[in-house]
Structure formats: structure tokens, C-alpha cells
């Protein structure tokens, strides 16, 4: 039984605060100790191109996203470089804080470990969640990517949804989807929860925001940029001879389902610096890979439906809702045509949900899985395991299997908690302390 604390443990509280402050400080430093990154070379370059009414999607700067991302970066082009970098660093630090705080509260956390009302579950969630996510947060900052900002908007949308503000949540999901399409998966989730208007708002917001660049800076050739993006990047994926998982990035960096299958089944690593990977002689065809992916997607969909079936219309604060969100975000990562390492920060919500439901239901399988995933998360750190082990683990699907484990864990957590004892209705730990004091 996880008895809650009745007195504060100040050393524990301040230790947790120090670790979090150190993480945010180290994250911020990444923007001032590196010469440049994707934010500057890709997004700001695309923003300048947009202001010139040019072809943002010509591939010259590596910009392969929907056009809204270029418009989002435009305000940063009007300020001096150092001011823009400082503003972007501050925004990323704020986004990381939002992700951590909202994920903690969504999963049932009421305060840092050591506060009145906290217990073993809080300590386990703090450390197991931290071990998993710290490498992804720092990697996103090191590459100056936008994924912390997108993740904060997504997790913030989940926080709005659980408070009954489904339209505001849908706008947040649509905003995130306007950057990268995979958050559109929240639309079918909202349909499943019978929030029909909100599901439509996600789609309208995502499409509408991607039409704004044409209104602000009309293209000189008169072609709608969103349509150009679809024709250049989405439509070719349906071609029969196009490998699933092939995107505007090296195959080594794609950790989605399609990327993993393509890498391990169709390519092999070499020792040559000029060609570090090469196609296998007996590799499957593109059609065979697509069939395999569809079979895997069907299996994942079936598992998700079974786990979410009971009480499908309810949205109740607590770890059960966090587990549902964990199912959605892990599916986003696995089903995306391209998921690189910075995309995986949002997995912290799934990890926290597994830990807390594991304690509430005394499920050793969930707690063991969360521990293994935390260790795996540490292994995604190149400086921790060394370059050789890192390359081997990443090539052979460490990130994909971590995500798959979280997906299966969240499905098990949701199914067992709703079927056996509805942990969403468990009295919060701090309230339980007050009840005992009153008695």
C-alpha cells in the first residue's frame, strides 16, 4: 500500500527543484554554445523565403513541413539574430516546463516528491519519467528543433480537454497538427469520445492555419502552398514503388513503424564512411513492406480499440485519462511516416501514467515495464553508452521498441484500471491525508 506522507520532506523537495532547474538551464545553454541548428537553417530560412513570396517547399533549405511552420517563424526574422536566439531559447525552456508540469498533473501528481500527500508512486514517477525523457529534451534543444513547442501545445491541449474545454483543446491539437500532421490522430480520438464538434475543429484549425501563409505572403506563382506540400511530399508516398518510411532524412534517423521496418528489412550497415548503409540484396519490395506495415497498424488498432472500449465516452481527470493520451501519442510516433529522436519527448505522459496505474493496481508487469523503459531511455544518450553501442541500439529499433512498450503498457493500464477498479475515481493522496486527519 502506498501511504501518503503527512509531513513535508524539504530536502527531497529542493533536490527535485534543483534537478528540474538544472535541466532547464542546461537546455537553454544549448542555444548559445552551438553555432546553429534546424530552427535557424530550416525554419528561419523558410520564413525569409516566405517573406520573399518564394517557393518555401523547394527543398533547398531542408524544409519539408506544412507551410504554417514557416509563417510561425516569420516574427523571429524581424529581430537581430542574438535576440531571436534568446527568445527561441526562452520559448523552448517554457515549453519543456509546460510538458513536465502538465504531464505530471494529468497523470495524477499533486506536488513534487516529499510534499504532504505524496508517496512512493510520486518518487517512482519522478525518477522513471525523468530517466526516460531527459535525453529527448536535451536532444531537441541541441538540434534547435520545434518539437518541445509542439509537445507543449499537445500536452496543454490534453490538460484543457480533461477540464471540459474540448473546443480549446481541439484548437491546440489543430495548431500542433498545422506544424506536423500526426496530431490529427486526436480527431478520431475525440470522435470516439463523442466530442464531434471538437473533432471537426481539429481538422479545420490544421487546414486553416496552413492557408494563412498564402494570405500573408501570396505565392508568386499563384499555387496554394498547402496543395504544393501535399503533391510533393504526401502524394508520392502512395506510389507502388515508393518505400514506406522513406522521407527527407537518412533511414538511420527514422524511428517510426515504417522507418524501423524499412531499416532492418531493406538495409544493412557498412563500415564505409562514404556509404554507411546499403540496400540488402534480398530485401522485400515496397509493396511487401506496405502490406507488413498495414498488418502491424491493424493489430495496433485492434489492441487500442479493445483497451479503450469500455466507458468510451468518459473523460475523467486522473491516470486513466493519461493512459488514454499515452495510447494516442505513442500511436502518433509509430504511425508517422517519419519520427526522429526529438519527436519522442511527449512519451513522458505515457510513462507517468504506467507508473501511477502500476502502483494503484499493484501491477508488477506495468512497474517492471516502466523500469525497463526508463533504462532504455538512458541508453538513448550517446554520452552514456558510447557511440558504438548507441549506433547499434538506435539502428536496431531501441526507440521504436520503447514506444511500442509504452503503447502496450498504456493499453494494459487503461483496460485493467477500468475493468477492475476505476482508479480515476481514487481519492487524491493529499485529500486522503486530510480525511485521515479529520478522523
Contact by Cβ (8 Å): 31, 92: yes
Alpha carbon 406 to its chain centroid, in Å, reads: 12
Domain range annotation of the chain: 10-438
* Rounded-to-integer distance, Cα 176 and Cα 146, Å: 10
Tell which residue, 416, 374, 323, has the closest CA to residue 106. Answer: 323
C-alpha cell of residue 84? 531571436
- From first to last of the 439 residues of the chain, give the pLDDT tens digit: 455 667 788 888 899 999 999 999 999 999 999 999 999 999 999 999 999 998 898 878 889 999 999 999 999 999 999 999 999 999 999 999 999 999 999 999 888 888 877 788 999 999 999 999 999 999 999 999 999 999 999 999 999 999 999 999 999 999 999 999 999 999 999 999 999 999 999 999 999 999 999 999 999 888 999 999 999 998 988 888 899 988 877 888 999 999 999 999 999 988 767 667 888 989 999 999 999 999 999 999 999 999 988 777 778 888 999 999 999 999 999 999 999 999 999 999 999 999 999 999 999 999 999 999 999 999 998 888 998 999 999 999 999 999 999 999 999 999 888 755 445 444 444 433 333 333 3
Rounded to 10°, the helix 286-308/257-266 angle is 140
- For residue 213, count other CB atoms closer than 10 A to its CB: 25
Instruction: State residue 349's pLDDT score.
Output: 96
> For residue 176, what are the CA distances in angstroms to 196, 203, 214, 243, 354?
19, 11, 19, 27, 25
Instruction: Give the three-class secondary structure for 428.
Output: coil
Instruction: Give the three-class secondary structure for 233.
Output: helix
User: Percent helix, strand and coil across the chain, each rounded to 5?
Assistant: 70, 0, 30
> For residue 316, what are the CA distances in angstroms to 67, 162, 323, 420, 422?
35, 6, 11, 16, 10
Half-sphere exposure of 88 (CA within 13 A, CB side): 31
Instruction: State residue 275's pLDDT score.
Output: 67
Tell which residue, 344, 427, 422, has the closest CA to residue 150. Answer: 344
* Rounded-to-integer distance, Cα 127 and Cα 130, Å: 5
φ and ψ at residue 278, rounded to 5 degrees: -150, 155
Instruction: State residue 310's pLDDT score.
Output: 77
Contact by Cβ (8 Å): 426, 360: yes
> For residue 431, what are the CA distances in angstroms to 6, 130, 435?
11, 26, 6
Amino acid at each position: 500500500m502506498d501511504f501518503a506522507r503527512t509531513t513535508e520532506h524539504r530536502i527531497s523537495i529542493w533536490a527535485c527543484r534543483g534537478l528540474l532547474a538544472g535541466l532547464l538551464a542546461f537546455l537553454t545553454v544549448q542555444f548559445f554554445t552551438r553555432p546553429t541548428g534546424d530552427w535557424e537553417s530550416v525554419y528561419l530560412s523558410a520564413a525569409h523565403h516566405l517573406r520573399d513570396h518564394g517557393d518555401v517547399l523547394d527543398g533547398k533549405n531542408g524544409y519539408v513541413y506544412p507551410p504554417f511552420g514557416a509563417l510561425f517563424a516569420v516574427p523571429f526574422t524581424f529581430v537581430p539574430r542574438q535576440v531571436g536566439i534568446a527568445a527561441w531559447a526562452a520559448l523552448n525552456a517554457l515549453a519543456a516546463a509546460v510538458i513536465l508540469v502538465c504531464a505530471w498533473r494529468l497523470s495524477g501528481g499533486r506536488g513534487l516528491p516529499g510534499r504532504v500527500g505524496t508517496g512512493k508512486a510520486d518518487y517512482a514517477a519522478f525518477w522513471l519519467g525523468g530517466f526516460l525523457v531527459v535525453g529527448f529534451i536535451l536532444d531537441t534543444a541541441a538540434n534547435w528543433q520545434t518539437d518541445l513547442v509542439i509537445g507543449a501545445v499537445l500536452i496543454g491541449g490534453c490538460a484543457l480537454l480533461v477540464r471540459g474545454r474540448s473546443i480549446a483543446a481541439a484548437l491546440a491539437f489543430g495548431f500542433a497538427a498545422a506544424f506536423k500532421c500526426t496530431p490529427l490522430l486526436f480527431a478520431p480520438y475525440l470522435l470516439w469520445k463523442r466530442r464531434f464538434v471538437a473533432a471537426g475543429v481539429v481538422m479545420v484549425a490544421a487546414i486553416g492555419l496552413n492557408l494563412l501563409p498564402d494570405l500573408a505572403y501570396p505565392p508568386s506563382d499563384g499555387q496554394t502552398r498547402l496543395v504544393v506540400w501535399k503533391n510533393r511530399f504526401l502524394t508520392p508516398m502512395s506510389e507502388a514503388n515508393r518505400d514506406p518510411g522513406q522521407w527527407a532524412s537518412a533511414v538511420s534517423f527514422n524511428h517510426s513503424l515504417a522507418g524501423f521496418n524499412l531499416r532492418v528489412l531493406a538495409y544493412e550497415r557498412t563500415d564505409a564512411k562514404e556509404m554507411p548503409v546499403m540496400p540488402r540484396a534480398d530485401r522485400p519490395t515496397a509493396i511487401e513492406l506496405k502490406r507488413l506495415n498495414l498488418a502491424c497498424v491493424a493489430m495496433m488498432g485492434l489492441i487500442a480499440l479493445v483497451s479503450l472500449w469500455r466507458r468510451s465516452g468518459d473523460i475523467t481527470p486522473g491516470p486513466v485519462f493519461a493512459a488514454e493520451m499515452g495510447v494516442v501519442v505513442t500511436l502518433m510516433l509509430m504511425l508517422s511516416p517519419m519520427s526522429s529522436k526529438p519527436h519522442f519527448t511527449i512519451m513522458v505522459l505515457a510513462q507517468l501514467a504506467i507508473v501511477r496505474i502500476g502502483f494503484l493496481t499493484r501491477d508488477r508487469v506495468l512497474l517492471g515495464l516502466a523500469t525497463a523503459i526508463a533504462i532504455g531511455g538512458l541508453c538513448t544518450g550517446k554520452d552514456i553508452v558510447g557511440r558504438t553501442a548507441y549506433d547499434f541500439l538506435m539502428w536496431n529499433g531501441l526507440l521504436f521498441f520503447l514506444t511500442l512498450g509504452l503503447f502496450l503498457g498504456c493499453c494494459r493500464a487503461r483496460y485493467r484500471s477500468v475493468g477492475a477498479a476505476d482508479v480515476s475515481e481514487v481519492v487524491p493522496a493529499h485529500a486522503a491525508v486530510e480525511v485521515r486527519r479529520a478522523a
